């Protein structure tokens, strides 16, 4: 099965990275894809070892920082949420400024995902909402510029369609006086 094969590959890469949030996400996805427990066991053991090492060395904040200090276009909402959950479970103090930074990065990552989904719909209303959400989150990635361009094009297209409909309506009312010329 392709999905299982891909998840095996992603799991191996995550194990090689020794990055706890990435490994946690890969295990989650591999589990959802139906990989058997005996294939997940080494990854789970590594997760336990990485968790113990991070806590022992006091690097919980560093682990969280590793997923939020990225370009806006590289932020991953799932990975950030996992890192927040891990930092909470590892008892990073709730008033640590990294939590506020992580929440801001999570909002940007979610805004990016919203932009990507809305641009695929090619509909002005969802795209406008996604652009507004991205701007509110402070998202600065290329996806925002692309979405704004697509939104402007959709708005121009809607305006032209409305003008054409209006012109045809006028023509039908004044059919004797109206002529439409189409040239190539």
pLDDT digits (tens, 9 = 90+) for 53-92: 999 999 999 999 999 999 988 999 999 999 999 999 999 9
What pTM value is reported for the model?
0.76
| Distance of alpha carbon 10 from alpha carbon 134, whole angstroms | 29
Q: What is the DSSP string of 67-84?
A: HHSS-GGG--HHHHHHHH
pLDDT at 87: 94
Q: Which pLDDT score is estimated for 120?
A: 94
Q: pLDDT value at position 171?
A: 73
Reported confidence tier of residue 170, pLDDT bands at 50, 70, 90: confident
Query: What span, in angstroms and rounded, lies between the C-alpha atoms of 27 and 146?
Result: 33
Higher pLDDT pick, 168 / 63: 63
Average pLDDT for residues 145-163, to the nearest whole number? 91
* Closest to 167 in 3D by CA, of 179, 156, 155, 176: 179
What percent of the chain stands above pLDDT 70? Answer: 92
Cα separation, 104 vs 80, in Å, equals 10
């Amino acid at each position: 099965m392709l999905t299982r094969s891909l998840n095996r590959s992603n799991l191996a890469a995550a194990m090689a990275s020794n990055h706890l949030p990435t490994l946690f996400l890969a295990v989650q996805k591999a589990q959802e894809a139906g990989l058997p427990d005996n294939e997940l066991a080494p990854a789970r053991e590594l997760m336990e070892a990485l968790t113990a090492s991070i806590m022992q060395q006091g690097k919980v904040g560093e682990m969280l920082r590793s997923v939020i200090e990225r370009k806006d276009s590289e932020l991953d909402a799932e990975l950030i949420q996992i890192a927040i959950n891990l930092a909470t479970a590892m008892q990073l103090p709730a008033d640590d400024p990294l939590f506020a930074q992580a929440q801001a990065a999570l909002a940007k990552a979610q805004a990016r995902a919203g932009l990507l989904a809305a641009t695929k719909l090619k509909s002005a209303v969802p795209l406008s909402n996604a652009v507004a959400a991205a701007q509110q989150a402070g998202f600065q990635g290329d996806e925002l510029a692309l979405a704004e361009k697509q939104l402007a094009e959709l708005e121009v297209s809607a305006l032209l369609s409305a003008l054409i409909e209006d012109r045809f309506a006028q023509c039908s009312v004044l059919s004797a006086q109206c002529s439409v010329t189409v040239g190539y």
